[in-house]
Structure formats: structure tokens, C-alpha cells
Structure 1
């Protein structure tokens, strides 16, 4: 039996999956690491933590493994997007990595919009300038830490730095590079035009390869630290959302993903980069060669539930918290929730907006609030689906993964609000499985990623929309849509009191 390993480098932990040729997960390990918050709006990590915890995770996987280590043929990666790692000429890290959820770069986003222009930015990168992306972080270092910037020889994204430490080879790949605002998404090359306009030397951009490209093998040092064979093939991997899509089988036209974790994502496959969403949703290169995906983001999806649990129901686990969802009627007895606890991304790129409960009365109980939160999260995600449909995409079947797929009542709510069939997977592992599939495809186990998907991914259950419920939710959604505009100015005025 042959094996591959998928490494998912997340924001709070690195996860390793050992997967065999049948797509079965033989072992999994997770190792946590801390975030560094030097001040409000700052979010950083020490890249050395990623390396140390990955070594620990792989060592533990190998200690459990009873087979021949030569049979572990490949390893690939999924990684948190948009983070900035700067290396000097000696390939040493110059400062902590600045992460995707760091919001210090509002002024730099404004500079990009002024210098490059919105029309040119969308034409080249297919995305607007937002604080989370890599280019604004690069400009922030250029402006606030000029001595560090002068020493910078290359920038890397988080998983690309980890892979460099494993192989000694510097690369990026298209799905992660698409989240920098420096990639010409259609032409699949770094944009000299944007670099020149913002006085960035294009030599700081790493070489680009496909996600399934074998970038090298494991160094002798990393082999001795983990127990992996030096002959293990290392593949470039992909951005977490691209790998999550691969791990859910979003590899052909018509396939759409709903992923509800801390944040929430609606992601849909695109065969080319010709569709124009006017920057309302993200448009990225996929981990499958010469394909793309569009994506909308709800910043506080599962986070809204965990916030409520921690503040108002700390002794409940999530299963208990959600067990009475179906005992509360549609509309939560007249209670609406907008999940803007950390601002919002899609369809409102607004860092100042905050969440609301609308319609509270003394008759409402805890279960009403829980149902309202679930409905509010799902409405926010539906706004991305509405944008897709308004631009001619057919959204009929949606694969649901993450925390939102663990409760069947919530899956039915998704079916009713999205007005689509919702499919729950039998063995859902998200981005880590996508990384393993890239390695399996790269090793030649399958002729295509789609063939790999057919072997690795199985549906467990599906949920179809109830026509009467869908009609009720359409009425409720019209009310929900009013919340943003009617609370936007109030939240701006409240900002000085936070």
C-alpha cells in the first residue's frame, strides 16, 4: 500500500493527514501555535513556530505508522492565505509574518486604489484592495519599516515558507499567489505593471509553479527530524480555500462549496477567468491547472456561534446549543441577527460594521437567539449565492463542510435559504484532504484530480429545499437585507466608543 501526507498550515494549528491509496485517513495529528497581537488590529506569527510544530506533527504521524516509510511517496500543503513572510539574501526571516486577519493596512489599500486604480486592479488581479491581502502588507513594511524592506530579497506566503524549509527550494503557486494582489490572474504571472506603479522590485516575487508541481524532495536534515524518507516527493500544494475545494470535489463547472468554520465561505468553480463580478466576490486561480474559483466570505460565521456560547452559554457544548434548532419556527419568533461581529467582507467590504439583534422582546429565549444566529449566518452566505446567480451562474447543488455541516437541522436551513440541494460528505477533512489529493495526483496515482476525487470523496446524505420554507425565507431575507444600510452610520458613530 502506498501513502501520501497532506499538511494544512492553519491560523491556529498545523494538521497532518496520512492517507492511503484508497483515500482512507490512516492517521491525523494537530499541533497548535500562538498568535501574536502587539496592538489592536495587528495579527502576526513567528514562522519558526510553523516549522517546529510541523516537525512534531510529522514525527508523531511516523511514530504511529507501522508500514514501510519508503511507501510514503509524497507530501503536499494547504495554507492560510495572504500572509507575508520576508526573507533576506541569506534566506533568513526578517520579521514576524503578518497574517491574513491583520487589519493595519487601510491606508495602504487606499494608496493602491489611488495609484493603480480600481478598474486596472480588477482587470489584472480580479480582486479589490482589502486589508487581508499581501500587497498592502508589503507596502506597510515599505512605509513603516524601511530598513527591513531594504533587506528583503523575496517574500513568501506561509505554506510556501514551510515548504522551503522542508526542501530548500523557493516557490509560490498560482492559487496562493492569486491572493496577493500582485498576480495577473488570467495570464498567470506576476504583474510588472502593478509592481512598477507601487515601486516594488519584481525580483522580490518568488518563482511560480502549478499546485501539483513536484518542487523537490525532503532535505537530509528534515528527514532526520521527522523520520520521513529523503526520497519523499514534495508538491507545491495550494491555498486553503483551493485545497478545501479540491477536498470537497469542487473540480467541475456547476460544483459549489459552503464551508462554515470561524469564517464562512461560498466558493464556486470557474473554467476560465472571463466572468466579471465587478469585484463583488473574490476571483482566484484554483489548485487544478488552468481553472479558477469565485468566492464570497462571511467573516464571523462559526465565530458568531462561539461568541454567543462563550458569553451566554459557556457550559453548553455546540451539540447541546444547536439541539433545539428545529423547535424554533422560521424567523426565530421575530428575531433577526446580522453576523458582523468583526466587520464584513461579502458583499460589504466594511471593517466598521458590527452585528445586531433586531426585534428582541422579553418573550425571546436562548433557543430563539441561537436559531436567529444560525439564520443570520446563512443569510450572509446566501448573499454570495445571490451574486453568483445574478451573474448567470447556476447554483443547484452545494457541498457543505465544516461546523455548519455537523448539525442536520442547520443543513436543512441551508437547503431552504439557498434553495439548493445540500450534500454532506461521508469523510470530510477539508483543506488537509485537498493537499493529500494534490500529492496523490502528483505521484501519478490518478490521471486527473477529478478521478482522484471520485475515489477519495463520498457523499453521506443530501438535503433538499422545502418549497414552503424557501418561500418564507425569501420574505425574511428581504427584511434581513435592510439591516446593513440601516445600521451602517450608527456603527460608524459608535466607533469612537469602542
Structure 2
């Protein structure tokens, strides 16, 4: 019997990764290609979409070349991509703007101006997308005010995955998952919301046709296929967003199973069989598949907070990451009363405030470098606990906590997470869960295969749990005064 292969492609913010899987979802090979983000001024986070397209072509071509002649048996390409990206293209598909990534906050002023005129909670209630500069909704408010000429003449409004799949197929389609993270897509009707489109002053015809996440493209671009080396029989499945597919790849798709990711940033996501919105708009609700909604919160500050402190430390002390970890291990849980509110890059969930700033609280002459770095990592995790608490309030208790991301490389960080959440962490040997989710979106019965995989569990240490609970209680009590400090500073700047 001829063996068949699939490629899962994850178009991320810093790189594109592609993984070749066999029929049993075992990794055969992998490739990745990085690209730059342009940050020439405050709030800017733009990319060149053609460099991302080149990266996608490169990683697919590399896998095909490395696996020839088996590459002729690649049956499907399936896509994952980062959410909230936006670009304007001409009617011929040529870029008229850079790609504005989720991290681009240039629309902040225009969004605040719109919020001052009217309450925008109605947008969240229709779409499940929090009101924040990351969203295409906010970016379109900005472009309509700043460059209205871009939004006329039939120019198309798309995201990065649409740009890539249009090149490969000639079809402009957007999956329900990516669409549900734009702030323009009605969760009930699974279509573009006419009230929001009217509010933004655009026409529905300039948006891509929404399709389900298991949609197989009907056409291909033979020139693009030949250039990459793909068989003309290889099908392309549209897939979903990276966060939603991470849950699928971690096999965290049963009701109230939770997936937590800590990489550069972080996220906590829970799956529900129905739409779940937060009364205060603090969490998102995005589509994964029929009767599967991913609710959760993404935070801006994860491993990048550790990187920030390590970079400062490297200017005064020459230390590698293992030595910094060893410093943390010498400090007791709770960092002897030192707390860190980790808003170094503003914050998404649970605050949804792009301008909020980080704070150390309780710093004294008795605290050492070890205390500081431990407080930083504890603060990152406390912030994620805040998100999980909101999810549990709205959707019920979490059943399992499945984790992935760069923090898994550190046994100390894994134990810290288990202790702070007071939950057993479940870790699978699979990596790049979004790629795995992408290749399995059309056959979720693959979960039977995943159930056979070996898992690692990290169990909370009771003594540490008690210490962290006491520290977290103080963190919660101080979170409101911290926000008040931020408001005072903002008012002072504006006077």
C-alpha cells in the first residue's frame, strides 16, 4: 500500500513553519523560514507580505526536495496562520499596503476616538472579538480616517493567509476561524455583519468569501505548483487560526479542556460547544469547527518578559539562561513579597489596554537579582491565571490543562506553572501543535491516534501551591490600584 503524506503550514508572526506528517501524524521532516517585522515608530508592526509568501514557498519546496520521491505522495497542504492581520490589495491582488500584524497598534488613536463617541460593546457582542487595536476592525477605522483612498475602487481587504492561498489557487476565500477574529464577522450567522460593515463605510464585496475550516480549494494555480514542485493532485485545505488549531493539535477540544501556550507571548484557551462571551468583553470567542468554539485570552507578555530582564542583566553580569534559571531556583515561591505586573508591551487579555505599563511592587534593598527574575516569571503566570479564572466563571471549571510553547524547555518553569495554576500539566511529545491541528482539521477522528501518544504530567507541589496562593491573593488585590496608577499617569501626560 502506498504511504501518503500531508504538510501542515503555520504562517506565524516571526517565521513560517512547515511540517511533513505521515498517515499516523508522526513527524517526518520540518522546515522553517524567518522574516522581519518593521517597527520604525511607536505602535508600528508591519511586514512585507511578499517576503512571507517567499518563506511559504521556501519551506514547502525544502520539504519536497528533502523527501523526493515520496514527495509525489503528498496529498494535502493545510494552513494555520496568525490572527488579526490586514492588508489592502488591488483587484489584481497586488499589495497596496504592508501587512499590518496583530501587534500593530497604529490604530490606537482612531479607536479611542471612536469609543469616545459611542460604546462599541455591540461589536464585541456580535463578533466575539475584543475591542482592541490588534483587530482588523480597529485597523479599518484607522485606514478609513488616514487613507480613505485605499478603501475604494474595488480594492480588496484581506489577511496574510488569503494572500498566500490566492497565490496558490486563484480563489479569495477566508476561513470562519480567521474571519471570526476580525471584528467584522457575525458569530451567529457565520457571515460578515452588515451593521459593522456599514459602520466602517466599506462594501461586503471587498471582503473574501467565508468558508468552513475544512474547505478544500476547487482550483489550483499550476504555475505556482510547478514553481514549488507540488504534484497537481495535491489538494489545499484552508485550515484555521493558529490559536484554535493549537487546541486541536494538543487534543484539547473536548468541552472545558484547556490549552495554555507560553512562547514570546501567551494564551489560555478553552473549547466550548456553544458561543461564550464575557459580560465585560475580556475574552475572545473564535470558531474552530462545527459546534466547537475556542474561548480564551491572549496576553502580550510571556517569554518576552524573561528575555527583557535577561537582556538588562546581560549588560551588568555575563550570565547564560541556565545560570539565570539557577538564580530563580534559590528564591522561595512568592519572591519574598516582590510582585511584578508584566505589562511591558501593553496588554491584551484581561485588560485590553495597549498603553498600560509594567510595575514592580514591594521592592526593597533585601531583594536580589534572583528575586527580580522570579517575580517577573511569577507575574507572567499570575496574569494567565487571571484569564483562566474569567473563562471558568463564564464556561465552568477547566477539566485538563494541556500546555505547549517555549517555556516547556525549562523543567523549573513547568513546575512553577503547575504550582501557580494548582493543576496537573499534561504535555505531549508533539511540537508545533498548530501545524498538527492544520493537517487534521478535515479528519478529527485522528484524535484516536493522539490518545495513543505518550504524555508527560507535571503535578503541583502542595507546599508551593499554598505559597503561591497567598502571593496571588495580594496580586489580585493590587491589580485595581495598579490600573488606577496607570490612569493617573495617562491623565498627567494628556494635561
- One fold, TM greater than 0.5? yes
Match status 1:403 vs 2:406: yes
| Aligned partner of residue 152 in structure 2, secondary structure | helix
CA distance in 1 between partners of 2:303 and 2:479 (Å): 20
Q: Note the alpha carbon deviations across 1:236-278, whole angstroms, 9 max, x for none.
A: 1111111111111121112101100111100000111155443
TM (norm. structure 2) is: 0.93
Q: Between 314-323 and 325-334, report the one with greater CA deviation.
A: 314-323
User: Could you say which residue in structure 2 is the equivalent of 1:470?
Assistant: 465
RMSD between superposed Cα atoms in Å: 2.2
| Aligned partner of residue 81 in structure 1, secondary structure | coil
User: Could you say which residue in structure 1 is the equivalent of 2:177?
Assistant: 175
Matches within 5 A, 1:419-438: 419-438=422-441
User: Could you say which residue in structure 2 is the equivalent of 1:445?
Assistant: none
Unaligned runs of 5+ in 2: none
User: Could you say which residue in structure 2 is the equivalent of 1:444?
Assistant: none
CA distance in 2 between partners of 1:277 and 1:432 (Å): 33
CA distance in 1 between partners of 2:69 and 2:326 (Å): 42
CA distance in 1 between partners of 2:107 and 2:311 (Å): 30
CA distance in 2 between partners of 1:419 and 1:67 (Å): 49
Q: Between 5-14 and 486-495, report the one with greater CA deviation.
A: 486-495
User: Could you say which residue in structure 1 is the equivalent of 2:17?
Assistant: 15
Match status 1:454 vs 2:448: yes
Contact 1:94/1:152 (CA < 8 Å) preserved in 2?
no
Contact 1:416/1:473 (CA < 8 Å) preserved in 2?
yes
User: Could you say which residue in structure 2 is the equivalent of 1:301?
Assistant: 302
CA distance in 2 between partners of 1:306 and 1:408 (Å): 17
Q: Between 14-23 and 277-286, report the one with greater CA deviation.
A: 277-286
Q: Note the alpha carbon deviations across 1:111-141, whole angstroms, 9 max, x for none.
A: 5546774342233112332100001112211
Contact 2:276/2:295 (CA < 8 Å) preserved in 1?
no
Contact 1:217/1:234 (CA < 8 Å) preserved in 2?
no
Contact 2:83/2:181 (CA < 8 Å) preserved in 1?
yes
User: Could you say which residue in structure 1 is the equivalent of 2:291?
Assistant: 290
User: Could you say which residue in structure 1 is the equivalent of 2:394?
Assistant: 391
User: Could you say which residue in structure 1 is the equivalent of 2:128?
Assistant: 126
TM (norm. structure 1) is: 0.92
Q: Note the alpha carbon deviations across 1:182-230, whole angstroms, 9 max, x for none.
A: 0001221110121123322111221011111101354222222211112
Unaligned runs of 5+ in 1: 442-447
Contact 1:343/1:354 (CA < 8 Å) preserved in 2?
yes
Match status 1:416 vs 2:411: no
CA distance in 1 between partners of 2:176 and 2:326 (Å): 42
Contact 2:276/2:395 (CA < 8 Å) preserved in 1?
no
| Aligned partner of residue 352 in structure 1, secondary structure | coil
CA distance in 2 between partners of 1:248 and 1:102 (Å): 28
Return the offset for 1:372: 1.4
User: Could you say which residue in structure 2 is the equivalent of 1:356?
Assistant: 359
Matches within 5 A, 1:274-353: 274=276, 276-286=278-288, 288-313=289-314, 315-353=318-356
Return the offset for 1:406: 2.0
Return the offset for 1:67: 3.5
Match status 1:220 vs 2:214: no
| Aligned partner of residue 258 in structure 1, secondary structure | strand
CA distance in 2 between partners of 1:478 and 1:8 (Å): 38
User: Could you say which residue in structure 2 is the equivalent of 1:191?
Assistant: 193
The equivalent position to 2:381 in structure 1, one of 347, 354, 378, is 378
Q: Between 348-357 and 456-465, report the one with greater CA deviation.
A: 456-465
Return the offset for 1:302: 0.7
CA distance in 1 between partners of 2:35 and 2:295 (Å): 30
CA distance in 2 between partners of 1:121 and 1:416 (Å): 37
Contact 1:343/1:352 (CA < 8 Å) preserved in 2?
yes
Q: Between 263-272 and 84-93, report the one with greater CA deviation.
A: 84-93
Return the offset for 1:180: 0.7
Q: How many residues align?
A: 488
Q: Note the alpha carbon deviations across 1:272-298, whole angstroms, 9 max, x for none.
A: 115544312111112x23320111122
Contact 1:75/1:235 (CA < 8 Å) preserved in 2?
yes
Match status 1:141 vs 2:143: yes
Compared CA separation, residues 277 and 20, structure 1 to 2 (3 A): farther
| Aligned partner of residue 216 in structure 1, secondary structure | coil
